Amino acid sequence: MLSNQTSVFWRNGDLEDIKESISTQDLPTAVNAIKEFLEKQDLVELNVGVTGESGSGKSTFVNAFRGLGDEEEGSAQTGPVETTMEPKAYLHPKYQTVKVWDLPGIGPPNFKADEYLKLVEFERYDFFIIIASDRFRECHIQLAEEITRMEKRFYFVRSKIELSIDAEKRKKSFDQKKTLDIIREDGLRKIGIEDPVVFLISSFELGKYDLNLLQERMEQELPQHKRRVLMLALPNITLEINEKKKKALEENIGKVALLSALVATVPVPGLSVAVDIAIVKREIETYYSTFGLDDPSLQKLCEGSGKTIDEFKSLMKSPLIGGINPASILPLAGAAFLVVAENAVEYAVSLVALLGTVVAGGMSYMTVSKMLRRALNDIAEDARIVLMASVNDM
């Protein structure tokens, strides 16, 4: 059960709201409140329902959305015939609260959308992906209309788009942009959908075509606390997603630094080392995992690019690349503390004047903020460099 003050800033998520909510609390209560907030944030569930006709590429999309190939451990079973007989949840390999559901195929004789949605328990999904590998048919429209009637979101996705492009390339008049525009509009208008929005996807080259447009639409339409989960869970395969991940992670820096300030009980400026190093280490490990710079993620990238882990690591500039430990983190603290020292102490005090150990808390807040921002900037830039290197080699 969330405490009252945690519930307030859980709904708002704003750092100033958090400070205001804890301003009248004693130190232990305030520490517990913000810890509770950060823990609750990591427990937010996201359920994505993926549906479409048999053979449309549902299972491949389920795998690609989670950053997996069709034959990797934990992947959804794929094949030329329907392999999904009942809804099956596939957990994200890094975010266990993210579940991508491979749903049974639609379109058999006498298909009834309302009965289908009851069968798959439509209430549990945050949104649906409706996939077609060629043209959308009446069953897709029936399903979309029923989802809308039940006040849920859905997105039309044309899969296997690379096959359509290859077929059109044989024509002398081939124009890729024109071809993609025709594919987006073809089919849905003919069966009564006005201003259809169709996202074109190649599950084998997910970073191409409309992935960025799809994630932008999903992000806009999700509740605020679920947008963060979506952005962190998406595979880091476009520069746009790389930047969005960075912004999503930035939103937590103030909250984590405030937690550091709340537990800063030593009456000297700077870090309460044992606690702050643990807090910073945990956040930086999250950055590496989210951007796919941890060794298991780099190994998967090697398999598709032909590079080795050492080659990718040689491109990275972050001082943390040798390992995330006190020895590599403390230089960040020294650099951050120099920046903090150049600022007026009164400013540090004003940030956390409500905290009791005012000066120690204020300096810890600013130092940890600077450390995390520098680490995040470095890691996001390394991720950008690695992404560009992997794409250029494919």
What residues does 51 pair with on adjacent strands? 130
Residue labelled with tokens 């807040």: 365
Q: How do beta strands 127-132 and 153-158 pair? A: parallel
Q: How far apart are CA 155 and CA 380, in angstroms?
A: 29
Domain boundaries, the chain: 46-235, 242-392
DSSP string, 160-187: -HHHHHHHHTTSTT--HHHHHHHHHHTT
Q: How many Cα neighbours within 13 Å face the side chain of 324?
A: 19
Residues 6+ apart with CB under 8 A from 90: 62, 63, 66, 74, 75, 76, 99, 100, 101, 102
DSSP string, 376-393: HHHHHHHHHHHHHHHHHT
Query: Rounded to whole angstroms, what are the CA distances from 59 to 88, 274, 285?
Result: 10, 46, 30
What residues does 156 pair with on adjacent strands? 130, 198
pTM: 0.80
Would you give per-residue pLDDT tens digits along the chain (394 residues)?
444 544 444 444 455 655 665 565 566 676 777 778 888 888 999 999 999 988 888 888 998 888 888 778 888 887 665 556 789 999 999 999 999 999 988 887 778 888 989 999 999 999 999 998 888 888 888 898 899 888 999 999 998 888 888 888 888 888 888 888 877 776 566 555 556 688 998 877 888 888 889 999 999 999 988 999 999 999 888 999 999 999 999 988 988 888 777 766 444 344 455 556 777 888 888 998 999 998 888 888 887 777 888 888 888 888 777 677 666 666 665 555 444 444 434 344 444 444 444 445 555 777 788 889 988 999 999 999 999 888 765 5
DSSP string, 332-349: HHHHHHHHHHTS-HHHHH
Q: How far apart are CA 310 and CA 386, in angstroms?
A: 12
Structure tokens at 305: 């690019």
DSSP string, 211-278: HHHHHHHHHHHS-HHHHHHHHHHS-S-SHHHHHHHHHHHHTTHHHHHHHHHHT--SSSSS--HHHHHH
Task: Report which residue type is found at 350.
Answer: S
Write down the CATH superfamily of domain 46-235. P-loop containing nucleotide triphosphate hydrolases (3.40.50.300)
Query: Rounded to whole angstroms, what are the CA distances from 349 to 1, 182, 314?
Result: 33, 60, 41
Q: How far apart are CA 27 and CA 50, in angstroms?
A: 46
Q: How far apart are CA 240 and CA 32, in angstroms?
A: 35
